[in-house]
Amino acid sequence: MALAGRFADLLVGLAVPRLCWSCSGLARRGELLCGACRAALRRLAAEPVSVSGVRVWAPVAYSGPARDLVRALKFRGAVGLADAMAAEIVANAPHDLFESRTVLPVPLHPRRLRSRGYNQAAAIAEAVGRRAALTVRDCLVRSGPSVTQIGRNRAERTAGPAGTIEVRAFTDGGRVVLVDDVVTTGATLAACRDALVAYGAWDVIAVCFARTIGR
């Protein structure tokens, strides 16, 4: 049966071409993007930058094919992309970035979680933890109004996320790495950092798959 299953998978793979998640052109087996779109990814510097007072590192800029991948994960239910994003993060991050840290996903509002069915940041965080052999704790909670960042102006985004972020049952020490899919203004990361510091964390950094250029 196992052999038959593998043979069936092979036939499906031959019959159904693998398409690029950005341009829908042909992509090689195991690749999310075609060669041209992969080459169009804008790689970022090897060192973290400060965004809203939080040290943040991302492998690529939030533009072009990287933006398409983030949107596919977030809005098209392509949860399988999270592992590939985590692979990019772990493989290219500064060598000591994850040292002795606990991994925490940025929380999604409960209403958004019920609607979407999953937290894309948690999916990436789980894969990061698995690849980097780190403990993952989903202990940040968002409450209050559920307002999407889409449609909010820059001043509103910079002021912070709608609602509040709280820490629940976190006991793994003071060195934390926050994980999200994309960072724009960094206001949500700053709110998570402030909540963790108030709870006793003393060293909070963040990683994401993509970061807005200029931040």
Sorted by where each begins, the domain ranges of the chain are 1-40, 42-211
Is residue 3's pLDDT more than 70? no
Angle subtended at Cα 97 by Cα 193 and Cα 86, rounded to the nearest 5 degrees? 85
More confident of the two residues 172 and 146 = 172
> In the prediction, which pLDDT does 8 show?
44
More confident residue, 210 or 10: 210
Query: Can you give the pTM of this predicted structure?
Result: 0.84
More confidently predicted of 159 and 91: 91
Single out the residue of 170, 209, 215 nearest to residue 192, CA to CA: 170
CATH top-level class for 42-211?
alpha beta
Contact at 8 Å (CB) between 82 and 124? yes
Contacts of 2 (CB under 8 A, 6+ apart): none
**Residue 46 half-sphere exposure, CB side, CA atoms within 13 Å?**
5
A 10 A CB-CB count for 166 gives 15
